Structure 1
Amino acid sequence: MPRDIQAKLLIVDDLPENLLALEALIRGDDREVFKALSADEALSLLLQHDFALAIIDVQMPEMNGFGLAELMRGTEKTRSIPIIFVSAAGRERNYAFTGYENGAVDFLHKPLDTQAVKSKVNVFVELYRQRKAMKEQVVALEQSRREQEVLLQQLEATRGELEQAVRMRDDFMSIVAHEVRTPLNGLILETQLRKMHLARDNAAAFSLDKVRAMVERDERQIKSLIRLIEDMLDVSRIRTGKLSIRPTRFNLTALVENLLRNFQPQIAVAECSLTCMAEPAVEGLWDEFRIEQVVSNLLTNALRYGGKGPIEVRVYKTPEHACIEVQDHGIGISEENQKRIFQQFERVSSKAVASGLGLGLFISEQIVTAHGGTITVDSRLNEGALFRVCLPLQKTVLDKTAEQTQPLRDPKVVSAAIDRTKASHE
């Protein structure tokens, strides 16, 4: 409110008694009066305070009031301060004209008219308050405008994020549907084929060898579905901090060798060779199920992107870590892609390869990180890829959860990855 604004007034006169008399005349509870006995002293005060009005005596030694006014008009901080000149000289000296030329808003002759002085000072004080209040309102309006702009930007960003989330949901469901359809189609075709044989009473189609092959094909398709569902559940567990790590002591070499035996059918289908070099006893305290999941993901990637080239697996230990390396000689990974393959839904772009949700490496990194270990990749385009997992040998893992792992990636990155995945399907 204007009445709440304290006004500062400056009076300049070389005679102390004049200053005291003028101060007594214009002082009030809503204003503060500053006094100066010279132009130099007045300039010092003018640079320190914001004055509503300056009442300046014309006739002063060294620098008169007109000289002080000229300096005030030449300074940005003081040029807009209203000036009232006061003089005891007669009207015939034409001081008033000179005063107005120097930017004065009024000129008063001594002896001063008490009521006129009070009235004029009150007017300028009120004008100052109104101007100050208006300036504060302008500042407040500008601040409000900026806040509204920020709010609008936030709303726009939120709207964009919501649209992106909906698009991500739709795209993700499209990818999931594609991935689920593949094993389901295999099972449906197998079922229809068996129904056809049964309808024709074709018992020869159900010989022991053929039934065994059917069961193996069914098992592969069912395992593919289970793996897909487990990957999605693991992402949900990571998001909610429920991906538990339950360590037990086991031999990493034995785990890898057993896993390689189980992978023989996939290796045969991929038409590649696989060799394993492992130290006999690489023991540590880790979650056996989760580490098997990591190695399985790395082997699956090697088979998928290896281009029928040889695959080498190594298991060894250093003084502080147990290490697993999976090396393929396939399409390789560019330096740019190496920075994103551990993100959700990210896969190496390849027209020849279009399966999987792109969750394996993301989940693997979360599991390894929860163990206090690292997973890295060393690769060049068309020169294969080497993935290395290093797990601490010391007893550092208790019952960690995904809350101790890295957070989920930026939704914008995930969205871009889904777009690339959709493109690879098309």
Structure 2
Amino acid sequence: MVSERPTNNNRSKILVVDDRSENLLAIETALKHVDTEIIKARSGNEALALMLCHDLALVLLDVRMPEMNGFEVATLMRDDDNTKHIPIIFVTAISKDEAYVFRGYETGAVDYLFTPLNPDILQAKVRVFLEMYRQKRELKIARREAEAANLAKSEFLANMSHEIRTPMTAILGFSDVLLGNLQEEEDVFAANIIKRNGEYLLRLINDILDLSKIEAGKFEVEHIACSPPTIIADVASLMRVRAKSKNIPLYVEYVGAIPETIQCDPVRLRQILINLLGNAIKFTETGSVRLVIRLVQGPGSATALRFDVIDTGIGLSEEQISTLFQPFSQADASTTRRFGG
């Protein structure tokens, strides 16, 4: 027969297993000031059945019981995926012999209590395991909430991507139509700008989706043959339009010769250059922005391309540099007012 305190779903549960009613009562009395729900069982079989019905924080398990002793119960618990995670404290008056105690730990015990029980020690140990259980439960809840939020974010990004791609595809399509019909060089140049900016917005959508992939650990970088001069020229052409709107010259400088072809991710290279130059132009009011490219020694015998973006903008203090890679950080509030973020 099972005896339980009134159920409160917010309280952690402890299973006390002993074949003697007076021992069950003694433990229950000692724990009356501990905020927990005590479930009692008088045999190993009854205890195993109760473990499948309750989410338990701890099992206080008597070693010497008829039919099935505590060691046997612990062994069966450890062999079952549903119960192997439950911590066990053996309660015994039999022996403090090291070999005997070791057998208990070997079968899965995390601690021992020897009778006659000291109520203060019992309460202290139980509270430790209840706190561990509470923290573990909160971590599970937080993880579920984080996973749900991440799923909702992914669904939002997917929907947003679709909603923006549809009109943007139409804009790019009409840009191609314009380019096929325009004759004047200035008009063709303007139509190309529209097309390039439309393509940039599509890539921006991909950037947002990439962020989701990074957080999910699914982001991949390509290593394919590409032409740095072509990418640099394309990016410079696009960003000069932005610079011109602020009357800021954008210079591209090559320090020595660079290879016509390298192995890299062309999409990411273009993305990085656009972001760096865009930021430099945004925060520069007077002066100029320069993109400097040079060949440098890489790891081992390899060589690498180095890109430096140099501007005459507001710059960053040492303190501000330390927050550079924190999301949505800003140098100060006045920066938002002057430059829009």
TM-score interval, smaller chain: 0.3 to 0.5
Q: More relative contact order in 1 or in 2 (CA 8 Å, sep 6+)?
A: 1
Structure of larger gyration radius: 1
Task: Please give the TM-score of this superposition, normalised by the length of structure 1.
Answer: 0.39
